[in-house]
Amino acid sequence: MKNLILLLSASLFLIFSSCKKNSSNVVPVCDGSTPTYDTNVEIFISGRCLSCHGTGSSNGDMSSYAKLSAYTSNGKFEKEVLTNQSMPTSGPLPESELNMLKCWMENGFPEN
Ligand code: HEC
C-alpha cells in the first residue's frame, strides 16, 4: 500500500511537471500601442516566419495580409504564437514582439 502511494505521488509529480512549459510562457500584455500590418507586422512576419511560411508553403502561406488573415481569423495565429508560443519553431519570441502582436490582435488585426 505504501509503495502504491509513492508510485501515485511520483506519477502525479511527473504529470504536473510536464505541464510546466506552458505555464511558464510569458503572458503577452498590450501596452496600448496601435500596431498595423503595414507598419509593424509585415516586417516581423518576413523576418521571423516567411522562411517557412512563404508563397505556396504547405505549412501555411503567410506571405501577404490576405493570406495571413486566414490564420488570424480562424484563431490559429493566436493559438500558435500568443498562447502556446509554439511558433516560430526556433523558440520563444522576445516579450516586446509578443506584446506588439497582442495589441495588433486586440485592435482586430488592422492592415493599416
Ligand atoms: C522553421 C520553420 C518555421 C518557422 C520559422 C515558423 N513556422 Fe509556423 N509552422 C511550421 C510548420 C512546419 C508548420 C506545420 C506543422 C505544425 O503544425 O507544426 C507550421 C504551422 C503554423 C501554424 C498553423 C497552421 C495550420 O494550418 O494549422 C501557424 C498559425 C504558424 N505556423 C504561424 C507561424 C508564425 C506566425 C511564424 C512566425 C512568427 C511561424 N509560424 C514561423 C514551420 C515554421
- Cα of 49 from ligand 1 centre, angstroms: 7
Q: What does the mean pLDDT of the chain come to?
A: 89
pLDDT band at 11 (very low <50, low <70, confident <90, very high): low
Q: Are 31 and 103 in contact (CB under 8 A)?
A: yes
The residue ranges of every structural domain in the chain are: 35-107
pLDDT in tens, 42-84: 999 999 999 999 999 999 999 999 999 999 999 999 999 999 9
Residue 5 Cα, ligand 1 centroid: separation in angstroms?
42
* Lowest-pLDDT choice from 24-28, 51-55, 99-103: 24-28
Cβ atoms within 10 A of the Cβ of 109, count?
A: 20
Q: Assess whether pLDDT exceeds 60 at residue 85.
A: yes
Range 4-28 average pLDDT: 65
